[in-house]
């Protein structure tokens, strides 16, 4: 779960979200936090593809990537900037949710398979 939550495009929320999910599902808090922090570089790498996927899917305006454009909007039209940023963010979250719905079961299956194979190879360690 931490691997999927750790790559969500809502930057800065993974720690709090994972704390709540780990508490709700009775998971190990330390393992959950380690999991999201291990995949933190992936979150940064996948942020722009998620945003771009949202732009394509929802036919939204392109993300202004220049510092000048963002500064101009922040000084002249701050509410418009917040609206645009939230629009890109929730579009990216929709793309991530689809990505997570497909990836989470596949990851769980592969991790389970690897653990079962490891346990079969090392039965003497279990006894």
The reported pLDDT for the residue numbered 126 is 64
Minimal CA–CA distance to 8: which of 47, 60, 52, 49?
Answer: 47
Confidence of residue 127 (pLDDT cuts 50, 70, 90): low
The residues, any chain, with a CB within 8 Å of residue 50's CB and separated by 6 or more, are: 9, 92, 93, 95, 96, 99
**What are the structure tokens assigned to 2, written together?**
């931490």
pLDDT > 90: what percent of the chain?
50
DSSP conformational letter for 77: -
> How many folded domains does the chain comprise?
1
Q: How many residues does this entry show for the chain?
A: 127
Q: Range of 13's domain? A: 2-126
Q: Is the pTM of this model over 0.95?
A: no
Minimal CA–CA distance to 87: which of 55, 56, 64?
Answer: 55
The reported pLDDT for the residue numbered 1 is 79
**What are the structure tokens assigned to 106, written together?**
């596949």
**What are the structure tokens assigned to 103, written together?**
């990836």
């Amino acid at each position: 779960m931490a691997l999927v939550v750790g790559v969500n495009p809502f930057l800065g929320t993974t720690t709090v979200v994972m704390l709540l999910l780990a508490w709700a599902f009775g998971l190990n808090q330390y393992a959950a936090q380690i999991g999201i922090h291990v995949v933190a570089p992936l979150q940064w790498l996948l942020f722009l593809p998620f945003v771009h996927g949202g732009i394509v899917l929802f036919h939204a305006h392109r993300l202004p990537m220049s510092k000048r454009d963002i500064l101009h909007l922040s000084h002249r039209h701050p509410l418009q900037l917040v609206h645009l940023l939230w629009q890109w963010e929730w579009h990216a979250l929709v793309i991530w949710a689809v990505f997570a719905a497909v990836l989470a079961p596949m990851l769980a299956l592969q991790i389970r398979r690897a653990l079962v194979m490891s346990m079969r190879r090392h039965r003497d360690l279990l006894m």
